[in-house]
Structure 1
């Protein structure tokens, strides 16, 4: 059997001109310390067991290489140096290392059952703009994993941090308008959203499936064009998801963010990824009332009550114009969490009304809140949003 393995390891040299595929209908195996290379005109058609490998299977050359057949192969180590990519027509699992050098792993974005799968001890190296997964990538039994996904031109990874080991999680990236994607039949209208989302990005989105509650980390760059979103700042950027139950974009929240409007990242709050068809960036809305328009310093606010003397209290500029006023603050579920008559710069993240007053010692959770101010002296009302950072 070992001699046969060495013969197989070099089949690609002799078969590239003689046939168009290596067809496995027996019990193919690559032993430890041996390599099998596929390249030039040689595809892999796998119709039998190919799952007890300890060596390296490499994909090489300048022609597209296809992997197909009735039995998904399970490889130990895999190496990609194929200038015109490797196209998967059935899943491929890797138990150890996937080494990206040049060329992508492609699959049909419309078929979520076909993906490059990193098994429970599988990992990858060398991912880059020229070598990554274009299509779905999967992972087994992990709590934290960064998917090396992207499109033809850029690596656009997504990091999934699950509360417990997720048996299977899959992810793909789309540099397409969610309202009219070209790679999948579904569409996710960026104008169909809950009212506390101002704008949903029409540049890109990710699809993530996992049944275990998790947070995701999304990054943006210049191609994301977040600067084109009205009111876009790092603090106003939020993670949004297309809800399968309500068929609209809803807020998934922020637990952290960093960077500037050209390059940065945001970490969501915990949610169940499989409850959402797609996720992307959104922003809290601009105020539209007359008073806020005439007073551009009013509108949306950032509050970080950490005692550093910066943004510790909610200071609403212009309130002195109407000492006879009232302030109400609501969470994104519509529950009133704070109320004050004749407000004067007092709110610092603690609830004083409703059921959440029982958590006053720890303060309100980080996230986006909606507020209503009544300026009784001026006979005006206006609304806005504040982001509470912990």
Structure 2
């Protein structure tokens, strides 16, 4: 089959300068053991996905990959000190050899990614050669994203409980409170009472729907001393999309010192969180006293239900009730006066259908809207 290559001179909008590009409007194929070196831009307006061999991006002039179709290369080599800007994604089926320069993607367009397909891997990544923007992995379970910013490699290690149909990640050297790549900020003061400071230096964005753990690392630039003087308190945290606040993604266990180290999360669903970064454990949650209550569920209209008037101020709450032995007998999120002496928890409660035994019970209320926690007693009588 005859291969057709179109080399076009593309004039700039001013008409005063010219930029050459390789323009694909037909069938280009890199055969096995073949090599194609790009020293100019690629405009890919047709299928370019039956390639073997090597596609390399070379030189010192910054290059651009654009067009209507995503090119798919078998082996890729990057040796361009000024990098390659991807205005359309790029697929890699086998090996990416990072030598110098970055693959750059727009951080405000997560649909443009450097894509590692099911059997793809990479070598040579470092501060001087990486993905500066979004990298994506397709049909792989565990993967280390070779991502960073203009100056440093800042990888995120993903270990998933199953194969990811797709997972993508980017690193941001930005303050979460005022990120330039997002239309909203992520208030680092909007956190639980038992959480300390949250990084205002950097964060990652991870997209995926498979339960996973992550490992993220810090260095001197991360300024961990602003969070804590005890690395054992460092935890991974995430901005929960549904609650609009920061949450713990683990219980600590960081390794290293304040200048260099890493921390591993507990399992979580990445798509539930907008961004991820470092936080620190705070002081233990204060337990404040509310009233003690009398519950007499006998149908006379008096004290038939546990009513806590203060919860009107915090519709986003959790009520838990325990017996004197510490057995949880009732739990309700967004509680509105439902408890009438019957257990709703699947446990060892005896004679469940007749209601809980008469006696003293212990309750804990978490008022999440107000970052407050309360405890008290109630006496159940009939």
Q: Is the 8 A contact 2:176 2:186 kept in 1?
A: yes
Q: Secondary structure at the match of 1:20?
A: strand
Aligned partner of 1:20 in structure 2 is 20
Among 240, 262, 269, the residue aligned to 1:265: 262
| Structure 1 residues 104 and 236, CA gap change in structure 2 (3 angstroms) | same
Distance 1:259 1:242 in 2: 25
* CA RMSD across the alignment: 3.1
**What do residues 40-97 of structure 1 show as CA deviations (whole Å, max 9, x unaligned)?**
xx10000111001001110001111000000011110111011111000011010000
1:181-220 maps to which residues of 2 (within 5 A)?
Answer: 181-220=179-218
Aligned partner of 1:29 in structure 2 is 29
Distance 2:92 2:255 in 1: 33
Aligned partner of 2:221 in structure 1 is 223
Q: Is the 8 A contact 1:110 1:185 kept in 2?
A: no
| Structure 1 residues 336 and 223, CA gap change in structure 2 (3 angstroms) | farther
Aligned partner of 1:87 in structure 2 is 85
Q: Secondary structure at the match of 2:225?
A: helix
Q: Secondary structure at the match of 1:274?
A: helix
Distance 1:337 1:106 in 2: 55
Q: Is the 8 A contact 2:194 2:285 kept in 1?
A: no
Answer with 1 or 2: which has the greater Rg.
2
Among 71, 74, 77, the residue aligned to 2:72: 74
Distance 2:241 2:28 in 1: 43
| Structure 1 residues 220 and 56, CA gap change in structure 2 (3 angstroms) | same
Among 102, 111, 114, the residue aligned to 2:112: 114
Q: Is the 8 A contact 1:254 1:267 kept in 2?
A: no
Q: Unpaired runs of 5+ in structure 1?
A: 290-332, 341-351, 359-371, 373-382, 384-390
Q: Unpaired runs of 5+ in structure 2?
A: 9-16, 287-317, 330-344, 348-363, 365-373, 375-382
Distance 2:109 2:36 in 1: 28
**What do residues 5-30 of structure 1 show as CA deviations (whole Å, max 9, x unaligned)?**
8x89xx89xxxx99610000001110
Distance 1:170 1:163 in 2: 16
1:135-174 maps to which residues of 2 (within 5 A)?
Answer: 135-174=133-172
Q: Is the 8 A contact 1:256 1:268 kept in 2?
A: no
Aligned partner of 1:292 in structure 2 is none
Distance 1:254 1:222 in 2: 23
**What do residues 201-247 of structure 1 show as CA deviations (whole Å, max 9, x unaligned)?**
101000000011100101111111111214x4221011110010011
| Structure 1 residues 35 and 247, CA gap change in structure 2 (3 angstroms) | same
Normalised by the length of structure 2, the TM-score is 0.72
| Structure 1 residues 339 and 235, CA gap change in structure 2 (3 angstroms) | farther
Distance 2:75 2:319 in 1: 52
Deviation at 1:254, TM superposition (A): 3.7
Aligned partner of 1:346 in structure 2 is none
| Structure 1 residues 284 and 336, CA gap change in structure 2 (3 angstroms) | farther
| Structure 1 residues 336 and 214, CA gap change in structure 2 (3 angstroms) | farther
**What do residues 264-316 of structure 1 show as CA deviations (whole Å, max 9, x unaligned)?**
11110000001100000000114699xxxxxxxxxxxxxxxxxxxxxxxxxxx
Q: Secondary structure at the match of 1:184?
A: coil
Q: Secondary structure at the match of 1:238?
A: strand
